[in-house]
Amino acid sequence: MFTSIELCAGAGGQALGLEKAGFEHLCLVENDHHACETLRLNRKHWLVLEEDLRKFDAREFRGVDLVAGGVPCPPFSAAGKQLGAQDERNLFDEALRIVEEASPKAVMLENVRGLLDDKFTEYRNSITLKLEELGYSSEWKLLNASDFGVPQLRPRVILVAMKTEYFPHFSWPEEEPNSAPTVGEALYDLVAKNGWPHAKKWMLKANKIAPTLVGGSKKHGGPDLGPTRAKKAWKELNVNGHLVQYDSPTQDFIGKEGFEHMPYLSLRMAARIQGFPDSWEFFGKKTHSYRQIGNAFPPPVAHAVGKEIFRALSFNPDMYMQESKVAETSKQFEMA
């Protein structure tokens, strides 16, 4: 098992996926209290550091195998002002500081698709250059969660960097289009669990994958499925996106005028749309819980990338050098 430290861990989506891929987390850094309590609730043995990433000193973890995390997305999100490096919430520089302090074999950072916009080309290149100075080769890749069995599109940009002796052995995980269930298939049992008689009809209408789950911003008023465009997309799947509920529709649920027989998502439904296992609990009331879910990185995607990082790290450069020397000696012997 390889070791890792997790930055901006949130509710643990990436950490959970990497754990499944074989990584043992030495610590997880997160400044949101409710998210920290979620991590502690689900993994009592994890060392959760509830602090600002800017104050985190990674030197005691020097030699860790992997530094991973999901630094804040708003600086690069198309839904915001896209201030990038000028946004006070941008923590890429802090992540690079931590990489320099910890000197891991590998790095994995995720962010929103907007980071690949042309306006951020120079900034991405500066990150790549800094990693090169620290001895890493790196690559950016856009992955859709739906290609890894998650029932929503959710495009995310992943940066993987590795010490130069390991990077040639890394490959991006194979994408599997059409592998994700529809919203109806993924949520039918939850929608039906309280005896709602229209669950079967609802499932047949919710016959596509979900739009990207949004609504996790601390500046957002409350737990719903996002702005008008997002709510419209959910309505096409027979879901009322104006609220998120604690539980599934009751037996006598009808829905509001204009949304007849359109249930709300419950917290558990939203978590399943993100790829969390049903056993993963979220600490806090509805708004705090939904923010954790809405901001999460789907565990199945983290698992898929993590497996490939694990495989690349399993390469033994010392053994490779020994085998190369043996091969060279044999070649010289044959020539003689």
Ordered per-residue pLDDT tens for the chain, 336 residues:
899 999 999 999 999 999 999 999 999 999 999 999 999 999 999 999 999 999 999 999 999 999 999 885 444 444 444 443 444 546 889 999 999 999 999 999 998 788 888 888 888 899 999 999 999 999 999 999 999 999 999 999 999 999 999 999 999 999 999 999 999 999 999 999 999 999 999 999 999 999 999 866 666 557 889 888 899 999 999 999 999 999 999 999 999 999 999 999 999 999 999 999 999 999 999 999 999 999 999 999 999 999 999 999 998 766 545 544 545 545 554 554
Three-state SS at 111: strand
Annotated catalytic residue within 8, 27, 36, 73:
73
Identify which of 111, 108, 141, 147 has the alpha carbon closest to the alpha carbon of residue 23: 108
Q: In what order do the strands lie in the sheet with 48-50?
A: 48-50, 23-30, 2-7, 66-69, 106-112, 155-163, 136-144
CA-to-CA distance for 54 and 24, rounded, in angstroms? 23
Q: Which residues contact 322 (CB under 8 A, 6 or more apart)?
A: none
The residues pairing with 162 across neighbouring beta strands, listed in sequence order, are 106, 137
Q: Where in the chain is the domain with CATH 3.40.50.150?
A: 2-176+298-322
Rounded-to-integer distance, Cα 27 and Cα 153, Å? 30
Task: Supply the pLDDT for residue 120.
Answer: 81
Which residues, 6 or more positions from 245, have their beta carbon under 8 angstroms from its beta carbon? 264, 265, 266, 267, 286
For residue 54, what are its two tokens? Answer: 């800017």
The yes/no answer on whether domain 2-176+298-322 falls in CATH 3.40.50.1110 is: no
Question: What is the token pair recorded at 241?
Answer: 């996106």
- What angle is formed at CA 286 by the lines to CA 283 and CA 291, rounded to 5 degrees? 75
Is 73 one of the catalytic residues? yes
Of 179, 81, 240, 15, the C-alpha closest to 7 is: 15
**Among residues 247, 301, 306, 310, which one has the least CA distance to residue 13?**
301
Q: Looking at residue 335, what is its pLDDT?
A: 53
Helix H or strand E segment including 158 = strand 155-163
Tell me the whole-structure pTM to 2 decimals: 0.90
Coil, helix or strand at residue 81: coil
DSSP 248: P
Residue in the structure block whose two tokens are 């497996």: 307
Amino acid identity, residue 86? Q
